[in-house]
């Protein structure tokens, strides 16, 4: 089979929509266009019914008790904001302390930073070199002022999977609410709000082969019943937690995507992990001085994630050389700050190696042929760029690069 270029291996950024999802959505743009909040006619009823089905589908993927625990939002950033700010505001009388980790997504970290400016105290837990939080660190961080912990299910850069069940048990024991940003992990690694004791969970459709611009926040309704202060005022949709006319076609698509993830996720994860391992094996067979960032192991890492540092080759330079492959890099050469990835820094990858990292994100529509193509191309270009790298030449001549007094610029 001929490969279509460029090859997409950036599934952590977003995923293409599954054609089955698009099929489910299409009628809701045209003939079934009703407003789900219209109670007085068939158009509204149809839309409301469709939203109900989707709510059920998303609830089942998370193993929520009831569909009413799903609040539809515009995506995971909104879900994270609503969960953290909503809890902080509602439970302010009870305490002002929040616990999270250093490797959360910016939607969580920046939300916490804003709350700090408003008088909240936030503890940012360190992670191991595998990118995993130690539940005992979380236990030790809890004070009588702690109202919320926010820990992601799986990291978007290094794919490390957090021990959510253990964290959930501690939170339950200490009466602290647990929010989980489950965006990257849900449908790919085990996730179950009931079994894991999660009180709030953020998910988004476009990371699971659904449309962009729609997500959900799971909000537990019993044991304990979680209360939130709405962050958007208006018509009182979503039981008052999120006003705004529902994005019915996208919600329908999200539901279908969640259903596919629930039914096919396990099998798909095994297939994707196998391709990911094949890519790693190819690269490691051909190249020296490669370092995997994050944990390695079936349950420890997202099945589609391969984050590798190609020592002595700068990540952005490599991406340009492999422009037939869409990936991303922990090198921050494109950002104004020139600081490499904070996630890689948090897991102890030094700046020099962080600049050489590439994140391959594999998913549903990749093939073995693509993996072989990418493996060969990357190998060839890394060799070429190492021939161009003064650092590689110095390292091979036995010069310790760290012993040189570099002048930072």
Catalytic residue numbers? Answer: 333
**Binding flags for another protein, 302-331, as an x/- string (CB under 8 A):** ----------xxxxxx--xx---------x
The least CB distance from residue 295 to another protein, in Å, is: 25
Is 348 among the residues that bind another protein (CB under 8 A)? no
Q: Are the C-beta atoms of 217 and 267 separated by less than 8 Å?
A: no
Give the residue with the Cβ less far from another protein, 141 or 395: 395
Place of tokens 């279509």: 4
DSSP state of 75: S
Provide φ and ψ at 252, rounded to 5°.
-60, -45
Phi, psi for 101 (deg, rounded to 5): -125, 165
Among 245, 338, 369, 399, binds another protein (CB under 8 A): 338
- Nearest distance in Å: CB 345, another protein: 11
Cβ nearer to another protein, comparing 390 with 398 = 390
By beta-carbon proximity to another protein, the closer residue of 265 and 340 is: 340
Residue 377: CB minimum distance to another protein, A: 13
336 binds another protein (CB under 8 A): yes
- Work out how close the CB of 312 gets to another protein at its nearest, in angstroms, rounded to a whole number: 6
Query: Which is closer to another protein, CB of 141 or CB of 290?
Result: 290
User: Under the criterion CB under 8 A, does residue 406 sit at the interface with another protein?
Assistant: yes
Quote the Cα angle for 286-364-57, to 5°. 150
Between 244 and 348, CB nearer to another protein: 348
What is the nearest approach in angstroms of another protein to the Cβ of residue 291?
14
What does 303-357 look like in DSSP terms, one character per residue? TTEEEEEETTS-HHHHHHHTTTEE-EES--TTSTT----HHHHHTT--HHHHTTE
Using CB under 8 A as the binding rule, whether residue 387 contacts another protein is answered as: yes
* CA atoms lying within 13 Å on the CB side of residue 121: 10
Binding another protein (rule: CB under 8 A), the pick from 156, 307, 309, 389 is 389
CB of 187 to another protein, least distance (A): 31
Record the tokens describing residue 172, joined without a space. Answer: 């339950």
Build a one-symbol-per-residue string for 40-59: x at contacts with another protein by CB under 8 A, - elsewhere. --------------------
Binding mask 266-305 for another protein (x = CB under 8 A): ----------------------------------------
Dihedral of alpha carbons 11, 14, 16, 22, sign: positive
* Part of the chain binding another protein (CB under 8 A), chosen from 13-21, 73-81, 268-276, 333-341: 333-341
Between 248 and 332, name the residue whose CB sits nearer to another protein.
332
Residue 295 and residue 293: Cα distance in Å, rounded?
7
Q: Is the peptide bond before 156 cis (omega within 30 degrees of 0)?
A: no
Question: Across-strand partners of 290?
Answer: 310
Handedness of CA 83, 88, 91, 97 (dihedral sign): positive
The token pair at 327 is 């990936």
SS3 content of the chain, % helix, strand, coil (to 5): 45, 15, 45
Smaller CB distance to another protein: residue 301 or 386?
Answer: 386
- Return the residues of window 113-152 that contact another protein according to CB under 8 A: none
Contact letters (x/-) for another protein, 349-368, by CB under 8 A?
A: -xxx--x-------------
Burial of 163 (0-12, 13-18, 19+ CB in 10 A): middle
Kindly determine how many residues on this chain lie close enough to bind another protein according to the rule CB under 8 A: 31
| Site for another protein contains 388 (CB under 8 A) | yes
390 binds another protein (CB under 8 A): yes
Span interacting with another protein, options 18-26, 56-64, 344-352, 359-367, rule CB under 8 A: 344-352
Beta strand 70-73 with 215-219: parallel, antiparallel or unpaired?
antiparallel
Largest CA-CA distance found in the chain, in angstroms, rounded: 79
Which residues, in sequence order, are CB contacts of 36 under 8 Å at separation 6+? 44, 47, 48, 50, 51, 245, 246, 248
Nearer to another protein, 126 or 350 (CB): 350
Which residues are near another protein by CB under 8 A?
A: 312-317, 320-321, 331-334, 336, 338, 340, 350-352, 355, 387-393, 401, 406-409
């Amino acid at each position: 089979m001929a490969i279509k270029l460029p090859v997409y291996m950036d599934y952590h950024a977003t995923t293409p929509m599954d054609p089955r999802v698009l099929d489910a959505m299409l009628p809701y743009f045209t003939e079934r266009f009703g407003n789900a909040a219209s109670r007085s006619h068939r158009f509204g009823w149809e839309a409301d019914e469709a939203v109900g089905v989707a709510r059920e589908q998303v609830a089942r993927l998370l193993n929520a008790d009831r569909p009413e625990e799903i609040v539809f939002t515009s995506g995971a950033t909104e879900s994270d904001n609503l969960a953290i700010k909503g809890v902080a505001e509602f439970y302010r009388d009870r305490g002002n302390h929040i616990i999270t980790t250093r490797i959360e997504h910016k939607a969580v970290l920046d939300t916490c930073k804003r709350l700090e400016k408003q008088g909240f105290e936030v503890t940012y837990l360190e992670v191991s070199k595998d990118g995993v939080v130690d539940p005992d660190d979380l236990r030790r961080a809890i004070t009588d002022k702690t109202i919320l912990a926010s820990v992601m299910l799986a990291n978007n850069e290094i794919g490390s999977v957090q021990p959510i069940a253990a964290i959930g048990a501690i939170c339950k024991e200490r009466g602290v609410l647990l929010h989980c940003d489950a965006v990257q992990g849900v449908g790919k690694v085990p996730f179950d709000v009931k079994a894991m004791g999660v009180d709030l969970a953020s998910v988004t459709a476009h990371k699971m082969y659904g449309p962009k611009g729609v997500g959900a926040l799971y909000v537990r309704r019993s044991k304990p019943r979680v209360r939130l202060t709405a962050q958007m005022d208006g018509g009182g949709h979503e039981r008052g937690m999120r006003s705004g006319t529902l994005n019915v076609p996208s919600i329908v698509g999200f539901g279908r995507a969640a259903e596919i993830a629930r039914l096919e996720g396990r099998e798909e994860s095994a297939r994707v992990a196998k391709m990911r391992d094949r890519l790693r094996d190819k690269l490691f067979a051909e190249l020296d001085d490669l370092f995997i960032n994050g944990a390695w192991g079936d349950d420890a890492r997202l099945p589609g994630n391969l984050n590798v540092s190609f020592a002595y080759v700068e990540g952005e330079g490599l991406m340009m050389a492999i422009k037939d492959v869409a990936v991303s890099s922990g090198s921050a050469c494109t950002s104004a700050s020139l600081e490499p990835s904070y996630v890689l820094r948090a897991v102890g990858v030094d700046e020099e190696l962080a600049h050489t990292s590439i994140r391959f994100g594999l998913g549903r529509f990749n093939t073995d042929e693509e993996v072989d193509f990418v493996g060969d191309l990357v190998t060839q270009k890394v060799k070429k760029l190492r021939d161009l790298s003064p650092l590689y030449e110095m390292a091979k001549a036995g010069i310790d690069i760290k012993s040189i007094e570099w002048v930072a610029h």
